Structure 1
Amino acid sequence: MTIAIGGYGRYSAIRDWNLGDMDRRDLRPVSPEGLSGIGRWMHETAVRDAEAVLADGITHLFGQAECPRCASVFNVADEYSASNRPLV
């Protein structure tokens, strides 16, 4: 599964080598008011610096995604953090 946040869209999908992204599911952004901690700081900084596209992307990064295979819903940033923690 892949998560895309950028010029090609904001979605989760199954990525196939030959067919590209299949079974796309739109990401569910969090409202700016629902952001906290680092997400709130990042969003406020992007808004302050007139980076509207970046601010919008941050709401998707800290929002939710749906797995195209099993329909599980998860928080994108939390899942990325958990998957990329250093081994102890």
Structure 2
Amino acid sequence: MTIAIGGYGRFSAIRDRHLGDVARRDLRPASPEGLSGIGRWMHETAVRDGEVVLADGIAHLFGKAECPRCAGVFNIANEYTSSNCPVM
């Protein structure tokens, strides 16, 4: 599965070598009011500096995605963090 946040869209999908991104599911952005910690700081900084496209991407990064295979919904930033935590 892949998560895309950028000019080509904001979605989760199954990446197929020959077909590209299939079974796309739109991401569910976090509400700016619901952000906390680093997500809130990043979003507020982008808004303050007039970077509306970046602020929108940050809201999606800290939002939720649906797995195209099982329909499970998860928090994107939390999943990325837990998947990339160093093993102690």
- Do the structures match in fold with TM over 0.5? yes
**Is 1:67 equivalent to 2:59 in the alignment?**
no
Q: How does 1:1-88 map to 2 (within 5 A)?
A: 1-88=1-88
Which runs of structure 1 show a deviation greater than 3 angstroms over 4 or more consecutive aligned residues? none
Aligned partners of 2:86 and 2:45: how far apart in 1? 27
Question: 1:35-59: per-residue Cα shift (whole Å, max 9, x none)?
Answer: 0000000000000111000000000
Aligned partners of 2:51 and 2:87: how far apart in 1? 35
Aligned partners of 1:12 and 1:55: how far apart in 2? 19
Aligned partners of 2:41 and 2:9: how far apart in 1? 23
TM-score (norm 1): 0.99
| SS of structure 2 residue aligned to 1:57 | helix
TM-score (norm 2): 0.99
Q: What is the aligned-residue identity percentage?
A: 80
Q: Count how many residue pairs are aligned between Structure 1 and Structure 2.
A: 88
CA root-mean-square deviation = 0.4
Is there any run of 5+ residues in structure 2 with no aligned partner, and where?
none
> How much does 1:27 deviate?
0.1
Aligned partners of 2:29 and 2:20: how far apart in 1? 23
Aligned partners of 1:86 and 1:31: how far apart in 2? 29
> How much does 1:87 deviate?
1.3
Question: 1:57-86: per-residue Cα shift (whole Å, max 9, x none)?
Answer: 000000000000000000000000000001
Is there any run of 5+ residues in structure 1 with no aligned partner, and where?
none
